[in-house]
Amino acid sequence: MSELPRQDSIGHVDELDPANQSLAEALRKSFRVLKLIMLVLVVLYFLSGWFSVGPSERGVVLRYGRIVGAGPNNTAGDAVLGPGWHWSWPYPIERWSKVSSVERELPVRFMFQLTEEEQTGGIQGYKFGLLSPQRDDYLITGNVNILHAALLVKYRITDPVAYLTHVAPMPSPTASVRSRPYEQYPEYTVLTDLVRSAVIETAGMRADLDIRGAKQDEFVQAVASRVVGKLKSLDEAGLGLGITIDPATGIIAPKTGGVEGIMPPRQTQQAFENVDKALSGKVIAITRATSAAQSLLVKTAGPGYESILAEVEKEFDLIRKLSVARGADAAKLKKEAEAQRDVVDQRLGEAGGDARNIVKRAEIKRDQIVKEAAGDYQQFLAVLPEYEHNPRIFMTQILSEVFASALKNDQIGKIFVPESVKAYWLQIPRESMPAEEQKKAKEETPGVIQIDPRSTLGKIE
């Protein structure tokens, strides 16, 4: 090293030689550059605390490993940072982390092993091999049947604090494989276990026909509701995952590659298809019967048949109760039944369709019978004095009028039976009978009748 300037006893400094002076100048410049570099490094250090959160992301800041602004039990509180630029103290004081809020999908399967051809083109035909627990997965229903299911879970990370606290530290069991994106999610194992347990519990309380077919959506929604309940229980226990699932659409059973989301084993697929066909036929038959019944009721009583039917059923119920009632109860029910009958008559009078026509015809027939009865009564009153004066002559005259009317009627066959023989065969010519009676006689009688003259026929005068 070069020699530094020397100082004597009275403070005089020897001047540096040119070499030492150049060295000192270089050191001073180097020190200035070093200070500038240090200043730039300090500025860069503080600038490294800036970070941006995307529109579909949420961020948090961690100070010495603890989330800044988190509420009690590691709830979100004021810790969640929305989209935009944010600043935190640089590492190692603080660090930041971001979580995607985009909807994620996680398949959960209870399926048997499928070939690549079956996965893309669907299952063709029926196979009767055995299921292997080591290879195939399945569900056991409440009525001890087997079903297969391929469900898809749709969820979002809505609480980054809970997610980063309880889920993010979990290692993915298949992280080294990285064959499927969803297997790299930290929540893959815990969420899969939650959904599988919910599916098994729900299937164990339902029959197979209540899980697939027309009630498949109801089953899937029940599974989603059970998963939501399990997530809520974890939240209440302070172990929330920060995951939200829609109970209505969070879990679906899609048809992928020709394979149904929920299906029976291949060994029993034909039997299930036969049951489905029978159920479909039942629904069609019920629909047709309901439509025919409604059409018939409308045709019978008009559009307001429901109110008429209700009143008729009420009257029938009163009559049924009246049939077994006694004493004061019977008298009360009789009055109610009579009042209800008036209501039914009024409603029937207001009805349309065939009921209205029937009621009108009945009313016309009733009026006709009443008028005929009144006429007969008046005629009876008119001839009563004559009958009382001489009954024998009156009856003989009436009988003669009847015989005369019968003999004049071309529609009546006339047969004269003599009284001189005790028994004889009487052959009635069908040509003398009306056409309808001829046809009936051909079908029911051989055409020859044995007559006993002691009978009423043999005594006709």
Q: Could you tell me the two tokens for 96?
A: 């930041």
Can you say whether the dihedral through the CA atoms of 167, 171, 176, 177 is positive or negative?
A: negative
What pLDDT score was predicted for residue 174?
56
User: Residue 188, CB half-sphere, CA atoms under 13 Å: how many?
Assistant: 14
pLDDT for the residue numbered 27: 84
pLDDT of the residue at 105: 93
DSSP 165-179: IIITTSPPTTTTT--
- Asked if residues 441 and 433 have their Cβ atoms less than 8 Å apart, the reply is yes
Report the alpha-carbon distance of residue 371 to residue 373 in Å, rounded.
5
CA distance 452 to 88: 131
Between CA 114 and CA 127 the distance in angstroms is: 12
Phi, psi of 375 (to 5 degrees): -65, -45
pLDDT in tens, 167-226: 888 776 555 555 678 888 889 989 999 999 999 999 999 998 889 888 899 999 999 999
Rg from Cα positions in the chain:
52
In whole angstroms, give the CA distance from residue 267 to residue 128.
Answer: 5
With a cut of 70, which residues of the chain have pLDDT below it? 1-16, 71-77, 115-129, 172-179, 257-258, 416-418, 420-461
Residue 125 has a pLDDT of 61
Per DSSP (E only), the strands in 216-372 are 243-244, 251-252, 262-263
| Residue (of 449, 457, 452) closest to 422 by Cα position | 452
Q: Which domains does the chain have, with CATH numbers?
A: 25-99 (no CATH), 104-115+129-264 (3.30.479.30), 409-459 (no CATH)
- What does each C-alpha distance from 336 to 332, 344, 350, 435 come to in angstroms? 6, 12, 21, 53
CA atoms within 13 A on the CB side of 133: 1
Q: Which residues contact 425 (CB under 8 A, 6 or more apart)?
A: 448, 449, 450, 451
Q: What is the pLDDT of residue 2?
A: 47
d(CA 213, CA 226): 21
pLDDT for position 255:
82
pLDDT at 229: 95
- Per DSSP bridges, beta strands 243-244 and 50-53 are unpaired
Pairing of strands 424-427, 448-451: antiparallel
Which candidate, 118, 109, 62, places its Cα nearest to that of 88?
Answer: 62
